[in-house]
Amino acid sequence: MKVKKEDIPVTMEAPGTVMRGLPGWGGMTVACNEMPAGTDISPLLQGLKNNSCQCPHWGYVLEGELLMKYDDGKEEKLQGGDVFYMQPGHTAIVEKDAKVIDFSPESELKEVMDHIAKKMAEFNQ
């Protein structure tokens, strides 16, 4: 199974941000995300368990830099060229414009993305 990035549906857009996601990859969703420096997803996760993303992600940072913060207090920097696993219970701050490809379990990701969409609608009122 393969797909061109441009053929993955856009699931969210904001200034400097394009998030694409396509479920149906063996129970996983493939995502291609572009986010500008300064993006902090923490406010969008408020109300979830520990105010964190509870969906695991496996992926690759094409370019940029993200600061990951985990519920257990650990932090790590992901940079272009890094392959990663983000355990449940995390949030991220984009420190340098980033392009990331990741794979996530469909049901867990849908729950988080539905919550984020609701938060974005609240912020835009």
pLDDT single digits (tens) 88-117:
999 999 999 999 999 999 999 999 999 998
Both tokens of 35, joined, read 């986010």
The conformation of residue 1, written as its DSSP 8-state character, comes to -
Compute the C-alpha angle 102/42/4, nearest 5°.
20
The burial of 79, by beta-carbon neighbours within 10 Å (0-12 exposed, 13-18 middle, 19 or more buried), is given as middle
Both tokens of 122, joined, read 């609240």
pLDDT at 121: 86
pLDDT at 15: 87
Q: What's the average model confidence in pLDDT over 4-21?
A: 93
Above 80 in pLDDT, residue 53?
yes
How do residues 14-46 score in pLDDT, each as one tens digit?
A: 889 999 999 999 999 999 999 999 999 999 999
Dihedral-angle region of residue 23 (phi above 0 means left; psi in -120 to 50 means alpha; beta otherwise):
beta
In CATH, the architecture of 33-100+110-123 is Sandwich (2.60)
Residue 114 identity (one-letter amino acid): D
Q: What's the average model confidence in pLDDT over 71-80?
A: 98
User: Domain limits of the chain?
Assistant: 33-100+110-123
Above 90 in pLDDT, residue 68?
yes
Above 80 in pLDDT, residue 124?
no
pLDDT at 100: 99
pLDDT at 43: 95
